[in-house]
Structure 1
């Protein structure tokens, strides 16, 4: 004999979620490291920003285009000033934990700033307009100070990199 067919029951479960609920659980927030600016590398980055700003504003306020060597100094000073501000933001927000350390950045900044500081110092010559001379001499002084700051951060980046490779 044939058995009668039973009616099959289907259970459907639905869930509703809003975009806001999903967004709040999946988004990550940036951490803020207040103590970084109190460390020696943090203080060096702040010094690099302040002194680098002095280098390029002292040159930009003059007729630097009359001396072609100052074009190189301006390029290095503005380029690394912008990148250093960017790296300060990366360090303060602790994004560097997701991005490799800046040994290459600090090393290249040191080498190029050293060359720019030497070019800056060798291009300074007294002329009739003492405003240009004073600004160029001051920019040369600050370029060497920024070079020292980048050298310090290169050293600290090297030590941090070396401690990671030994482990």
Structure 2
């Protein structure tokens, strides 16, 4: 009779820097932080059309930090964590995609009122937002594949 041994499905400690879905944590930090700072550094008229973008970038930055720390400390070894990992990253993808589209649409609407320097910051924010969306999407797909294997 074959024995069924529990295998670590999710990496812990330093192994998160070498596993495929979890290696996306660092670029998610970088691009999410860039979206946050680029959007916060511009002044947009009318006031506050980018509140959703700021909420998403700050929320995902904080949640990804907490998620990263949970993985780093090894508190992710329960059987529910693979599905929570997939769920969080798909929610992050939906949030970031909606924020990216909102940001791009807002920038298109106010293009004629912007100076060149502000316009460049806003375009950079749009690009970083779509890159963050892509990174969260890749993380979600690879996490789903890992969840299916478990």
Instruction: Confirm or deny that 1:103 pairs with 2:92.
Output: no
**Contact between 2:92 and 2:136, CA under 8 Å: does it hold in 1?**
yes
**Contact between 1:65 and 1:71, CA under 8 Å: does it hold in 2?**
no
Partner of 2:73: 93
* Unpaired runs of at least 5, structure 2: 1-10
Structure with bigger RCO (C-alpha 8 Å, 6+ apart)? 2
Aligned residue among 61, 72, 76 for 1:81: 61
Q: Which protein is bigger by CA-based radius of gyration?
A: 1
Partner of 1:135: 121
* Unpaired runs of at least 5, structure 1: 1-30
Instruction: Confirm or deny that 1:156 pairs with 2:142.
Output: yes
The count of corresponding residues between Structure 1 and Structure 2 is 134
Instruction: Confirm or deny that 1:121 pairs with 2:104.
Output: yes
Change (3 A) 1:80 1:65: farther
CA distance in 1, matches of 2:39, 2:45: 10
- With structure 2 as the length reference, what TM-score do the two structures score? 0.81
CA distance in 2, matches of 1:123, 1:145: 18
1:53 CA drift (Å): 0.1
CA distance in 1, matches of 2:39, 2:141: 28
CA distance in 2, matches of 1:134, 1:122: 15
1:67 CA drift (Å): 4.8
**Contact between 1:67 and 1:123, CA under 8 Å: does it hold in 2?**
no
Deviates more, 1:38-47 or 1:60-69: 60-69
Instruction: Confirm or deny that 1:44 pairs with 2:24.
Output: yes
Instruction: Confirm or deny that 1:144 pairs with 2:127.
Output: no
- With structure 1 as the length reference, what TM-score do the two structures score? 0.73
Change (3 A) 1:42 1:65: farther
Deviates more, 1:102-111 or 1:155-164: 155-164
1:32 CA drift (Å): 5.9
Q: How does 1:8-19 map to 2 (within 5 A)?
A: none
